[in-house]
Structure 1
């Protein structure tokens, strides 16, 4: 690409245009990344509309623990119901 541009504007100018274009693209990508990170931080910290992955993992673990505890409780109740009542 640089050689094609050099036919129009010369070697030095073509080199600077290509390097400037690369830097512009790099800057644009960095700014887009920064914007995405800032928006994500805003929605997780300032206005918690999005849950963090750590919080979701902890919640899922708690739900699993609760399910296991409920299974144990149901089994215990079932075993108590099957025993004869002593008066």
Structure 2
């Protein structure tokens, strides 16, 4: 019941954003799985470049893994979080599809105008946009609050500066080990030369 509705919605959105078909038609027949840990969804790209919800049995060509903690950071527009999205399989396909989906917009007013007329649709569209903007703002505030809580009170997420410091320490340790190995090799060589003499 839900799958046909989601598929019709995806195809409708693709029709409203007709420009997207040119990008997606090259990947016709491919399936991408969006893995949010708790929920997995397979999207299939159809021959005409539109989208459909693929069945669970469909074999994905690419996987996009977004853990819940990362999803919160993405909501807060954390650019560093985008770099942590894990992609397996056909990376080019996954990247193009996710980029295209981010740029698609649902023209609610156009759909409402067929039901209630242009003027009413315009007013409803404005009200809906205000509600969506406020909801998005509240969601971002909650996501930022949870992120801060998980970083400060119950450390589950690392802060950017801590990750950078850790990476710096690992790099330093790596170069220290390389220098130590060279010294050890030199010392071993000197020791074996003095034993032979």
What's the TM-score bracket when you normalise by the shorter of the two chains?
0.7 to 0.9
**Which shifted more, 29-38 or 76-85?**
76-85
1:45 aligns with 2:152: yes
Q: Which has the higher strand share?
A: 2
Structure 2 distance, partners of 1:25, 1:80, is: 69
What is the DSSP-based 3-state SS (H/G/I as helix, E as strand, rest coil) of the residue aligned with 1:72?
helix
The structure, 1 or 2, with the larger RCO (C-alpha pairs under 8 Å, 6+ apart) is 2
* 1:1-87 correspondence runs (5 A): 1=109, 5=116, 14=120, 17-83=124-190, 84=194
Q: Which has the higher helix share?
A: 1
Q: Greater Rg, structure 1 or structure 2?
A: 1
Q: Normalising by structure 2, what TM-score?
A: 0.36
- How large is the RMSD of aligned CA atoms in angstroms? 2.3
Deviations 1:5-41 (A, max 9, x none): 468xxx7xx4765443332221111111111111111
What is the DSSP-based 3-state SS (H/G/I as helix, E as strand, rest coil) of the residue aligned with 1:51?
coil
What is the DSSP-based 3-state SS (H/G/I as helix, E as strand, rest coil) of the residue aligned with 1:50?
coil
Gapped runs of 5+ residues in structure 1? none
**Which shifted more, 64-73 or 17-26?**
17-26
How far is 1:74 from its partner? 1.2
Over 3 Å counting, the alpha-carbon distance change for 1:72 and 1:18 in structure 2 is: closer
For these two proteins, the number of residue pairs brought into alignment is: 80
Over 3 Å counting, the alpha-carbon distance change for 1:20 and 1:81 in structure 2 is: same
